[in-house]
Structures are given as C-alpha cells and as structure tokens.
Amino acid sequence: MNIVITILLTILVFGIIIFIHELGHFVMAKVNGVKVHEFALGMGPTLFHFGKGETTYAIRLLPIGGFVSMEGEDEESTDVRAFSRRPVWRRILIVIAGAVMNILLGFLVMVIVVCSQQYITSMEIAQFRDFATSNQQGGLQEGDVIQKIDGLRIYCDTDFFYAMDRNKPAGEQSTVTLDGEEVPAVTRSYDIQVKRNGETLLLEDVKITMTSNAVDLLVKAQEKTVFGVLKEGVDKTISTARLVWLSLGDLIRGAAGLNDLSGPVGVAQVVGEASTMGVTTFLTLVAFITINVGIFNLLPLPALDGGRLVFLVIEGIRRKPVPPKYEGYIHAVGLILLLILMVVITFNDVFKLFQ
C-alpha cells in the first residue's frame, strides 16, 4: 500500500508541476495571439479530452510530461496567428513562460515553508558550541555574518550546508560531546568571507567541526516580518536554482557521477520518504523539484525550452530564422539522447534499490 501511495503522490506532484509549466506556455501563447490546437497533460494515447473554442484539452495515458501544440510551432504556416509569424521577442516570452511559472511556483511554496517556521534563520553567528574551539582559533567571532564559503555566495542555510560538503576530502575524524552523548565528527578547513562591524573580511583556513546533524556554530534567529518572509523565500529560491547549475558543473568536471543523478524512480523514492517526515519537509521537496524543472528546461540543450531559446536568439541576431526542418532534426536528436539518458538513469535507480 505504501508503494501505491508513493506512486500516486509522485504522479500528483509531477502532474501539478507539469500543469503549471504548460499553463505558462498556454497563457503566454494566448496573450500573444497564437493559435493553440491542444493543451495536453501526459503523453501517448488520449484518455479524455474536450474542446473549447479552437483548443482541445486532453489527458493522455503516460504521466511523463505534457505539451502545448501551437500552429506553426514546428513547421511553416501561412496562418497569421502562427507561432512562427509572431515577432521574436513574443516567441521568446512564450518559450520561457513555462520555466518562469515553475520558478514562481517554487517561490510561493518556499514562502509557505518559511511562514510555517517559528523564526527566520539569518547567517549571523549567534554563538559557538562547546566543541567549537577550532572556530575561535580560525578567527570567526560571534556577530560575524557569513557571506561566502570557499568562494560560494551564501544566501541561506541551504547554501551553508551545501558548501560544507562540496568538494571536500574526508577531513579529520574525531568524536565530540553533543547533548550529553559522544558522537562521531569530522573537521574540515574552509576559507570564509564574513561581514564584521560593516567591514568585509576573508578568514583563511577556518576549521569547522560537524556531526551528522550539527555544526559547531549556531546562527541567530530573527522574528518573522512580511519583508523578511519574502526575502527568505527569494533567497531559498535563488539557492535552489543555483544548485542546478552547480550540479551540472560538477558533472562536467567529474566531481559528480551517474550515481548522483536520480530519475523518476529515485525521485519517487525521495517523495515517499519526504511525505513521512512532515508537511514542511514535503513542501520543501516540492519547491526543490519544481524549481529544478524550471531551471533544467532553460538549459541550452536541444528538445528543451532552452534549446528553442537558443534558436530564437540566433534568429534575432541573424534577422532570419533557422530553417524549421533543420531545427526539427536537432531537437529530435536531442530528444532521443535525453530519452536514452533517462532510461540509463532509471535503470541505475532500480539497481540502487537492490543494493
């Protein structure tokens, strides 16, 4: 039964995210006077559909995507309302609208998460734990506001913990006393930029000790205000969006591998785990997924919105479009490669389940 609930919950989460994405394309197409033939959720055979005006609205069998079919999107058309006959800047708005809607949804969910918290977490050091002598030796002081760690801009606590684990060796192993218990810990060195009394300082080789669920410093909590909640929502959204680019960079330079990627099976497993850890954890994951979908779609890869955006930018520079058939070939090849990658990642997800 838990497996069934996890699958249904995953389909629901992705269904909402895909709907919001395609709704962005659909609304922006309508606003810009483009004829829309079909608005569909899912792929494959049609399960249910109805027509309203010139558009067919459909639910398809396979819950693995969706699409908005526009006149003149992938072929030549003489219709004055064809996508291809709209000015380049209008087509750019239509192409990026889906990703923008995903990011906006992520921001709204992040705001809800922040509202559910008792306080807003700042990056100002409030105090050090008892095992934090290494911090004081490294130059950190209470009242310092952490700005960067090893060159990575720190917007919120998510960035802080990401920077702690990113590209770091095993570190110096030890045990520390936490809440009256001896627990394993690791100490690593970082270059930390802080703001202290209005001055920006770079502290080199600062040693930070951490356990599996705690670090040797505590940051100051702030009272919630409308502005503070919105700022925290923006910071967390920026942080999550940036993780996509950072992770892609890690893949390119070999710092991350195939085992660090997750497809539908891996995501479904995480969704199931998050659903048992409370509403806040679950909503945080939903925000993470929808922001990732938005940013990933903007990558300049064939078959993605970002790939279409590249062709529109080229058209804007050249003052004439790339022939649709050639663009279609490139997107088709890109789609095939993406599907192959998805199959490989899914196989790897299944393999990891049995490890």
**Looking at residue 72, what is its pLDDT?**
86
Does residue 239 contact residue 155 with C-beta atoms inside 8 Å? yes
Q: Say if residue 49 is in the same domain as residue 76.
A: yes
Q: Which residues pair with 36 in a beta bridge?
A: 70
- State which residues form the domain around 180: 121-221
- Which residue, 28, 18, 38, 36, is CA-closest to 93? 28
Residues 266, 346: Cα–Cα separation, whole Å: 8
Q: Say if residue 127 is in the same domain as residue 205.
A: yes
**Model pLDDT for residues 242-296, shown as the tens digit of each residue:** 888 887 777 777 666 666 666 676 777 788 888 788 888 899 999 999 999 999 8
Residues 252, 256: Cα–Cα separation, whole Å: 8
Q: Say if residue 298 is in the same domain as residue 202.
A: no
Residues 95, 218: Cα–Cα separation, whole Å: 43
Question: Is residue 51 a part of any domain in this protein?
Answer: yes
Question: Is residue 143 a part of any domain in this protein?
Answer: yes
Question: Is residue 262 a part of any domain in this protein?
Answer: no
Q: Say if residue 152 is in the same domain as residue 97.
A: no
Per-residue pLDDT of the chain (355 residues; tens, 9 = 90+): 477 788 888 888 989 999 999 999 999 999 999 999 999 998 889 999 999 989 999 999 888 788 999 998 878 888 999 998 999 999 999 999 999 999 999 999 999 999 988 888 889 998 888 777 655 556 888 889 999 999 899 988 888 888 887 767 677 888 888 878 888 888 888 899 999 998 999 998 888 888 888 888 888 988 889 999 999 999 999 999 988 888 777 777 766 666 666 667 677 778 888 878 888 889 999 999 999 999 989 988 888 899 999 999 999 998 888 887 788 888 888 888 887 877 777 777 666 666 6
Domain count, the chain: 2
Does residue 92 contact residue 100 with C-beta atoms inside 8 Å? no
| Four-residue CA torsion sign, 313, 310, 86, 98 | negative
Per-residue exposure over 103-139, b if at least 16 CB sit within 10 Å of its own CB, e if not: bbbbbebbbbbbeeeeebbbbbbeebbebbebbeebb
Q: Say if residue 6 is in the same domain as residue 109.
A: yes
Q: Say if residue 69 is in the same domain as residue 129.
A: no
- Which residue, 349, 351, 335, is CA-closest to 65? 335
Radius of gyration from C-alpha coordinates of the chain: 24
Q: Which residues contact 252 (CB under 8 A, 6 or more apart)?
A: none
Tokens matching residue 149:
């760690």
Residues 218, 248: Cα–Cα separation, whole Å: 31
Does residue 65 contact residue 303 with C-beta atoms inside 8 Å? no
Question: Is residue 137 a part of any domain in this protein?
Answer: yes
**Looking at residue 1, what is its pLDDT?**
46
What residues are annotated to the active site? 22
Q: Which residues contact 72 (CB under 8 A, 6 or more apart)?
A: 79, 82, 83, 84, 85
From 180, 197, 221, the end of a domain falls on 221
Question: Is residue 255 a part of any domain in this protein?
Answer: no
**Looking at residue 113, what is its pLDDT?**
93
What are the strands, taking DSSP E only, across the chain?
Answer: 36-52, 55-70, 120-128, 145-149, 152-153, 172-178, 181-196, 199-210, 217-222
Q: What is the CATH number of the domain that holds 126?
A: 2.30.42
Angle, helix 279-297 to helix 88-116, in steps of 10 degrees: 160
